[in-house]
Amino acid sequence: MKARAQEKGIVFLKDIPTVREAYKSNKPYSNILSIWQGDITRLACDAIVNAANSQMLGCFLPMHLCIDNSIHTFAGIQLRAECCKQMNKLREKYGYEYEQPTSIPMITDGYNLPTKNIIHVVGPVINGKIGAKQKQELAYCYINSLNLCREKNLKSIAFCCISTGVFHFPNNKASQIAVEAVTNWLASDNYQMERIVFNVFKDEDRLLYEKLLS
């Protein structure tokens, strides 16, 4: 499986320009933040973020094109085994019906991916109008993931566009919340992150982040 990662081509942080380098931006933290469009499973960093479901066991729809399925596929079966082990421990503590709450991250090894770790977090699901609760939950997906980086002494992280796929959070609002949450965290926390990447797959998302950060 690691050979497949080599075939896809590993992308290192040194190959990804910061917002300052790419767009001549003078906005706060432009020397730390990056926008990168591509397959998050190719990134070599301390952690990538997986937009997980509340069962935390990966996507169960064969060939589904979600990021959860992609990460579990290329990380290998070891990842689902570790997620299952962690969830079983939580169910022993909280009961058989336990599911991972929204915005509470869980960290695993990266296994066959070039990243060292994977941070799995459940984003809010939108079934109608977006309320203050959903906006706060999405912000905490980013904040709590960064707090986990501090706890584990991780210096680089790549965020996917949490909740914007099958969870139906509007892309424009989600990007605004993501950038605000990350920059506010950097302003209020003394922990020194070396790089934070906003990983996008669609052109729409790349343009949204470029508008916010450049």
Taking residues 175-186, report their average pLDDT.
98
Kindly indicate the confidence band of residue 66, based on its pLDDT and cuts at 50, 70 and 90: confident
As to burial, measured by CB atoms within 10 angstroms (0-12 exposed, 13-18 middle, 19+ buried), residue 187 is exposed
Do the Cβ atoms of 146 and 33 come closer than 8 Å? no
Distances (CA, A) of 154 to 3, 25, 99, 107, 116: 25, 25, 26, 11, 9
Nearest to 20 by CA among 207, 195, 208, 200: 195
DSSP 98-146: --PPTT--EEEE-TTSSSSEEEEEEPPP-SSS--HHHHHHHHHHHHHHH
Q: How many CB atoms lie within 10 A of CB 91?
A: 13
Residue 203 pLDDT > 80, yes or no?
yes
Q: Which residues contact 33 (CB under 8 A, 6 or more apart)?
A: 18, 19, 182, 183, 195, 196, 197, 198, 213
Q: How large is the average pLDDT for residues 188-214?
A: 95
User: What amino acid is encoded at 78 in this protein?
Assistant: Q
Query: CA geometry: angle at 138 spanning 134 and 140, to 5°?
Result: 115
Residues 60-78 have a mean pLDDT of 85
- Which residue type is seen at 92? E
Per residue in 30-49, pLDDT (tens digit) is: 999 999 999 999 999 999 99
Tell me if 105 sits within 8 A of 137, measured CB to CB: no
Segment 85-121, tens digit of pLDDT: 999 999 999 999 999 999 999 999 999 999 999 999 9
5 confidence band (pLDDT: 50, 70, 90):
low
Per-residue pLDDT at 51: 95
pLDDT tier, 61 (very low <50, low <70, confident <90, very high otherwise): confident
In this prediction, residue 167 carries a pLDDT of 82
What average pLDDT does this structure show over 136-151? 98
Nearest CA to 169 out of 124, 107, 105 is that of 124
Both tokens of 181, joined, read 């949450």
- Has residue 187 got a pLDDT over 60? yes
* pLDDT at res. 127: 85
Provide the terminal-to-terminal Cα distance of the chain, rounded to the nearest Å: 37
Residue 1 has pLDDT above 60, yes or no: no
Please give the share of the chain, as a percent, with pLDDT higher than 70: 95
